[in-house]
Amino acid sequence: MESHEGVHRHPAPTGFIRKYIFSLDHKVIGIQYIILALVAVLVGMAMSLLMRMNLSWPGTSWPILETFFPTGAPGGQMTPEFYLSLVTMHGTIMVFFVLTTAPQGGFGNYFLPIQIGAEDMAFPVLNMMSFWVTLLGFIVILLAIFVEGNQGIGEWFAGLGPSFAGGSGTVGPIGGWTGYAPLSALGKIAGPGQGGGMNLWVISIAIFCVGSLLGALNFITTLLNMRTKGMSLMRMPLTCWAWFTTAVLALLSFPVLLGGGVLLLLDRIANTSFFIPGGLYVSGLLSGTNPNFPLHTGGSPILWQHLFWFFGHPEVYIAILPGMGATSHILATFARKPVFGYRAMVFAIFAIGLLGFFVWGHHMFMSGMSPYSAIAFSVLTLSIGVPSAVKTFNWLGTLWGGRIRFTVAMLFALGFVSLFVAGGITGLILGQSSLDLPMHDTYLVTAHFHLVMGVASIFGMFAALYFWFPKMFGRFMSESLGRIHFWITFIGVYAIFVPMHIMGIVGMPRRFSSFTEYEYLRTLDPLVMLVTVAAILTIGAQLLFYFNVIWSIFKGKKVESDNPWEATTLEWTTATPPPHDNFAGVLPTVYHGPYEFAVPGAPRDYVMQTDMETEVPSGNGHDGHKH
């Protein structure tokens, strides 16, 4: 491509720092995001382990807790407030720094430019900033735990202003990942976990919003402007469609959270009353009667819920859509068949994204909303079942009659489909306001969202990593370790979350630190123990996964060809690992749709997108031009 020469905007860096730390290369930035997620998920996982331990063995002493949180866990025993701060931080870290970073910032960053045949992202400097801003957000959220939870660190932060004073010195911030007002808006007066650490929690989320927005801007511009010759929209891999839709969702939903976060922070530090109603009586004090609790009037706590969930619902699709894209991609590759209904898949992704903006109210059925609004939100929510079913049936259609290769990546993609269905099905229950009311504060909700947006998304990432690892590092991950990892994890997550459905239906409330006081829940004790044991085993299997990643980078089986999975898309046409500008100066030209497997009359059972010689009859897959 003649005009390409000399156009690449940044030459390959040579120094270590420019190459691996402050890199402009989307591939390095992608790996940085993945490392961030791998670190964050360890923190989140450790927190869930502590919660399970406390639920199954209440009152057990963990000396290490006392070391870091001398008053939050006196004698190493977890206080209920400490448990609540674990709930808060587990949710926040997992949703923002794991489920939002790795699928989009990680794999999307690495593979979107390569899959559309671009030499980098549209704005490499913004791309680099988006990672570093996100990392800053992560550091601030970790600080939030210690500012609130450790007296010594908290006192140091008190220098920033009275509202930053080190909180209760007992626990980390408390508020759930949703940070509901008015308690989250009042400051230290509202009780343990509401002091300076909560300020940092809000600030961290705001920083994260900015980082995500920079990323989304880049993804959208890159995809619209930098596709190579022949890469029409309907020739893009479904992964790119998923990343694109995710970026649009992030672009339009994160600013709303940012706006809400600014309002919340002003309530906390500037004494405004956006979310704080009048006549509030908290911690034995009436608003306006104490210098620590000045007068507030007229604010609306429900307003925060609206702003939060207007972001919060698209956020769950931000977490799962990339997994859907990776699953479609991997299922087709290892079933050796074109994706069934490519166009329908594209429209389903878009429909899910679009509908995702109109259903936030289903998180608020408990807020006392008008039953008419609740019906509207219910109907819209249930209608998401239609595009979701389109995707599920098309995945099954892709598998139908395929010559399936059961690689580990394929196993995880199949696991994704299974978990998406199993977790999504309870969405049909919770999406109806009348059924949601009794179920909302029970473990049924915990089970539902963990299966569908938590674990399913994680399976999408596992599938993606096992699949693309050979391209990223030139070595395979160990398939035998991978199989063990898959089966323990797959059975493990079902053993964790299926019993939670039963607990929920029995009426076990979520967010409680222990159930020893509740006679009617005694019968559930064996299930609680089963969940805990399953959680410990599943988390153990993840250590195997970490070992596999690190071991395979250095000692894994070397990749002999640039296309070891016999796949069709552009990332498999370039060198392994791809050079700095992805295609060594010559951008590829695309002649076919992304999933031309099993083409009649073709020399092999797959036709790569760049294959100029082979003719593909337009009925084969979905080369979207002639239908």
Report the residue number, 334 or 595, with the smaller CB distance to other proteins: 595
Contact assessment for residue 13 and residue 23, using Cβ atoms and an 8 Å cutoff: yes
Q: Shortest approach of other proteins to residue 463 CB, angstroms?
A: 26
* Tokens describing residue 393: 């049936």
Q: Shortest approach of other proteins to residue 251 CB, angstroms?
A: 5
User: Which neighbouring-strand residues pair with 355?
Assistant: none
461: amino acid identity, one letter: M
* Tokens describing residue 594: 């992304």
φ, ψ dihedrals at 39, nearest 5°: -75, -45
Report the residue number, 97 or 309, with the smaller CB distance to other proteins: 309
Task: Using alpha carbons only, give the angle 262, 29, 319 rounded to the nearest 5 degrees.
Answer: 55
Report the residue number, 75 or 401, with the smaller CB distance to other proteins: 401
Q: Shortest approach of other proteins to residue 383 CB, angstroms?
A: 23
d(CA 596, CA 599): 6
Report the residue number, 81 or 623, with the smaller CB distance to other proteins: 623
Report the residue number, 227 or 337, with the smaller CB distance to other proteins: 227
Q: Which one, of 612, 587, 593, lies nearest residue 227 by Cα? A: 587
Report the residue number, 311 or 466, with the smaller CB distance to other proteins: 311
Report the residue number, 5 or 560, with the smaller CB distance to other proteins: 5
Report the residue number, 271 or 434, with the smaller CB distance to other proteins: 271
d(CA 24, CA 124): 5
Q: Cα 77 from chain centroid?
A: 31
d(CA 462, CA 535): 18
Mention every residue, 6+ apart, whose C-beta is less than 8 A from residue 21. none
Q: Cα 540 from chain centroid?
A: 21
Contact assessment for residue 188 and residue 169, using Cβ atoms and an 8 Å cutoff: no
Residue whose token pair is 């009649």 = 600
Q: Shortest approach of other proteins to residue 36 CB, angstroms?
A: 22
Q: Shortest approach of other proteins to residue 117 CB, angstroms?
A: 8
Report the residue number, 254 or 416, with the smaller CB distance to other proteins: 254
d(CA 254, CA 261): 10
Q: Shortest approach of other proteins to residue 597 CB, angstroms?
A: 16
d(CA 206, CA 222): 25
Q: Where do contacts with other proteins occur on this chain (CB under 8 A)?
A: 1, 3-4, 7, 9, 116, 122-123, 213, 216-218, 220-221, 224-233, 235-236, 251-256, 258-260, 262-263, 266, 270-274, 278, 297-300, 303, 306-307, 310, 589-592, 600, 612-613, 615-619, 623, 625-626
The 3-class secondary structure across 537-568, one letter per residue, is: HHHHHHHHHHHHHHHHHHHCCECCCCCCCCCC
Report the residue number, 295 or 498, with the smaller CB distance to other proteins: 295
Instruction: For residue 282, give Cα distances in angstroms to 26, 401, 512, 609.
Output: 49, 63, 21, 64
509-533 exposure pattern, b = at least 16 Cβ within 10 A, e = fewer: ebebbebeeeeebeebeebbebbbe
* Tokens describing residue 492: 């493990």
Report the residue number, 9 or 343, with the smaller CB distance to other proteins: 9
Q: Shortest approach of other proteins to residue 357 CB, angstroms?
A: 10
Q: Shortest approach of other proteins to residue 590 CB, angstroms?
A: 6
Q: Shortest approach of other proteins to residue 250 CB, angstroms?
A: 9
Q: Shortest approach of other proteins to residue 258 CB, angstroms?
A: 6
Q: Shortest approach of other proteins to residue 280 CB, angstroms?
A: 13
Q: Shortest approach of other proteins to residue 626 CB, angstroms?
A: 5
φ, ψ dihedrals at 120, nearest 5°: -170, -175
* Tokens describing residue 531: 């969940």
d(CA 604, CA 33): 36
* Tokens describing residue 157: 């932060």
Q: Shortest approach of other proteins to residue 217 CB, angstroms?
A: 5
In 316-367, DSSP assigns E strands to none
Contact assessment for residue 349 and residue 321, using Cβ atoms and an 8 Å cutoff: yes
Report the residue number, 363 or 440, with the smaller CB distance to other proteins: 363
Report the residue number, 98 or 265, with the smaller CB distance to other proteins: 265
